[in-house]
Amino acid sequence: MAVAAAAHGEHHDGHDDIIYRETRDMRLMGFVLFLVSDVVLFSSYIFAYIYLRDSVPVWPPNVGGHQLPRLDTAFAAFNSVVLFGSGVTMHYALENWKHANRGRFNLFMLLTIVLGLGFLGGQAYEYAHAQIGGWSGNIFGASFFTLTGMHGGHVFVGVCFLIALWIQTSRGVYTQDKYFGLTAGTLYWHFVDVIWVVLFFLFYLW
């Protein structure tokens, strides 16, 4: 009986492994297509911003007879380092999970979440101090708050996603060989990093 039960267990585990391998690539493709759809969404807003920028003679535009000030590039650069640093820590979190180093995985996951929240805090501070009007004040303010706000929303969702993944790892949902959720979380986090590179160039360097 014990031998039969053990054999049944091995067969069951083997069946699960086969199902996981067969569906992993399909789930990965589906997630990549989701990210591609998000790229299309951001691209439409980015091209709209470029069109609006080219439609006025000076940028930032003149409002009330005075040109709006440029955004604080130094502060944004610091906040960008915080976000990009979280991309590095997320990479190491995944690598340590693959190598079954749970202690370092937990450390890097915590750092990623803290840095993500730090970026959001920096963005909130910038929103409170940017002297460019609000969403409806002018095309510069409307473009800036719309695009960076949409990106910030993605970062917030990403932080929630990572917290959920972290909880799942503590409950044994993932193993050293089966960790698609962590792969998806890492891809998503790198996605928000890449989008911010484009936005940083558009609003602070161009």
Enumerate domains of the chain plus CATH numbers.
2-205 (1.20.120.80)
Span 12-32, mean pLDDT?
77
Percentage of the residues of the chain whose pLDDT score is greater than 70: 91
- Report the residue count for the chain: 206
Q: What is the 3-state secondary structure (H, E, C) of the chain?
A: CHHHHHHHHHHHHHHHHHHHHHHHHHHHHHHHHHHHHHHHHHHHHHHHHHHHHHCCCCCCCEECCEECCCCCHHHHHHHHHHHHHHHHHHHHHHHHHHCCCHHHHHHHHHHHHHHHHHHHHHHHHHHHHCCCCCCCCCHHHHHHHHHHHHHHHHHHHHHHHHHHHHHHHHCCCCCCCCCHHHHHHHHHHHHHHHHHHHHHHHHHHC
List the single range of 53-57, 87-91, 117-121 with lowest mean pLDDT.
53-57
Span 155-181, mean pLDDT?
95
pLDDT digits (tens, 9 = 90+) for 34-48: 999 999 999 999 999
Q: What is the mean pLDDT of the chain?
A: 90
Q: What is the pLDDT of residue 133?
A: 79
List the single range of 4-18, 77-91, 112-126 with lowest mean pLDDT.
4-18
Residue 10 has pLDDT above 60, yes or no: no
Question: Is this prediction's pTM over 0.85?
Answer: yes
Span 170-179, mean pLDDT?
91
Residue 6 has pLDDT above 60, yes or no: no
CA-nearest of 165, 181, 131 to 31 is 181
Pairwise CA distance, residues 7 & 23, whole Å: 24
Q: What is the pLDDT of residue 135?
A: 73
Higher pLDDT residue, 12 or 22? 22
Amino acid at 187: L
Q: What is the pLDDT of residue 63?
A: 86
